[in-house]
Amino acid sequence: MGYIVEMGELYLAGNYRREKIAFVTGRGTRLFTEDGIEYLDFTSGIAVCNLGHCHPALVEILKEQAEKLWHTSNLFYTEPQAKLAKKLTELTFGEKVFFANSGAEAVECALKIARRYAFENSHSKKFRFVALENSFHGRTYGALSVTGQPKYWQGFEPLLEGVTFIPPNDLKALEESLNDEVCALILEPIQGEGGVYPLKKDFVEKAKELCERRKILLIFDEIQTGIGRTGKLFAYEHYGVEPDILCSSKALANGLPLSAVIAKTEIMSALKPGTHASTFGGNPLACAVAVKVLELVSDKTFLEEVTLKGKVLKEKISALGSKKIKECRGMGLLLAIEFHEPAQSIYEGLLKKRILTTLPKPNIIRLTPPLILNYREIDFFVDSLKELV
Ligand SMILES: Cc1ncc(COP(=O)(O)O)c(C=O)c1O
């Protein structure tokens, strides 16, 4: 164990289950430890470094912006922030953008918009949220309160009032839960932390129809599924259903802290001056990088390649025909291998072979490699997995 791990163990809060590995550099799909050992990264820092580590074009933009301007506060306008908002609206259904720093903050903002929108429209009785069981929306109180996994609530209750959870893809529960008191329904098109479970198209379509009819806002949490991860810029495009509010973060600035809440003007206008704010939200460094990220990721050919690589990876894993594997599912390069048994030893086996993955559930290994990975790396991963399953 090197000195970085030792120092970390001594001084860092113990809230993460960390591997005893310290990385000092990263390039593309690779991370390098303090001892110079190379790892193939099939995590992208949990779906963050979609363009890989230290992408040269992003490094250049970051350096340029670092020489120009770091921070002004949101009492003023900056070019990177205005440009990024423009780009996000051009690439989505949205017309206005609010910037924060993390996924949970974007979710907090979306929940606040929903309540405030009801308030502005004299529907103060519409205060409830409907969310899905097995969802994950973050660790701050609002985001935690709509996270449908009780293990995360333990010791933190009471949570926010007025949240109803329904099972994913349950049309009857959806219909029954969306009553007069509900201001918003929040969903992830694919439940990422929950173990990579894509929602069914008819469920998402029904959600849209009911929300529209009953004047309930539909919030999509695309913090994990966005920025090209599923082969589209945002996963809602697979469903042909636009939300009222879209939350984006993680890969938006490829590793710099940034999140965005995107909506039409009518809905975003619920945020009057003074109703919500963030000191660092939309800082020039992260926004300058994000403009370039969107330019690179929204390219049609790039996205088609993501779809193809995801398909090849999924097919090769399924073709292993291992009795231990229950299924390989997901979209684009957001994939899960579900095992019939606990997968800890397979996860550790991959780690020994210097491949990083995540284990969102004891029997599920999640694969979120950088979208720039190549076919040789796909083969290397599958060959390594083959020796373990
Ligand atoms: C779908 C989703 N929402 C929200 C979050 C929370 O993001 P953050 O950790 O940046 O607060 C995550 C993080 O994994 C996520 O996957």
pLDDT tens string, the chain, 389 residues long: the values are: 789 999 999 999 999 999 999 999 999 999 999 889 999 999 999 999 999 999 999 999 999 999 999 999 999 999 999 999 999 999 999 999 999 999 999 999 999 999 999 999 987 799 999 999 999 999 999 999 999 999 999 999 999 999 999 999 999 999 999 999 999 999 999 999 999 999 999 999 999 999 999 999 999 999 999 999 999 999 999 999 999 999 999 999 999 999 999 999 999 999 999 999 999 999 999 999 999 999 999 999 999 999 999 999 999 999 999 999 999 999 999 999 999 999 999 999 999 999 999 999 999 999 999 999 999 999 999 999 999 99
Active site residue: 41, 129, 220, 221, which one?
Answer: 221
Domain 57-297 adopts which CATH fold?
A: Aspartate Aminotransferase; domain 2 (3.40.640)
Backbone angles phi, psi at 91, to 5 degrees: -95, -5
Is the CB of 223 within 6 Å of ligand 1?
Answer: yes
Is 258:226 a contact under the CB 8 Å cutoff?
no
Map out the domains of the chain as residue ranges: 3-9+27-55+299-378, 57-297
Is the CB of 222 within 6 Å of ligand 1?
Answer: no
The pLDDT value recorded for residue 122 is 81
The pLDDT value recorded for residue 123 is 76
CA-221 nearest atom, ligand 1: 1
Measure the CA–CA gap between 264 and 42, rounded to whole angstroms.
Answer: 35
Number of residues written out for the chain = 389
Whether residue 220 lies in the annotated active site: no
Is the CB of 137 within 6 Å of ligand 1?
Answer: yes
Domain 3-9+27-55+299-378 adopts which CATH fold?
A: Aspartate Aminotransferase, domain 1 (3.90.1150)
**Residues whose CB falls within 8 Å of the CB of residue 27, separated by 6 or more in sequence, listed in order:** 52, 53, 54
Is 346:381 a contact under the CB 8 Å cutoff?
no
Crossing angle for the helix pair 284-297 and 300-319, nearest 10 degrees?
A: 70
The pLDDT value recorded for residue 34 is 87
Query: Does the pTM of the predicted model rise above 0.95?
Result: yes
Measure the CA–CA gap between 110 and 204, rounded to whole angstroms.
Answer: 18
Whether residue 136 lies in the annotated active site: yes
The DSSP secondary structure of 170-221, one letter per residue, reads -HHHHHHH--TTEEEEEE-SEETTTTSEEPPHHHHHHHHHHHHHTT-EEEEE
Measure the CA–CA gap between 366 and 296, rounded to whole angstroms.
Answer: 24
Token pair for 338: 């579900």
Query: 383 C-alpha vs ligand 1 centroid, how far in Å?
Result: 31
Q: Is 256 helix (H, G, I), strand (E, B) or coil?
A: strand
Whether residue 221 lies in the annotated active site: yes
DSSP assignment letter at 96? E
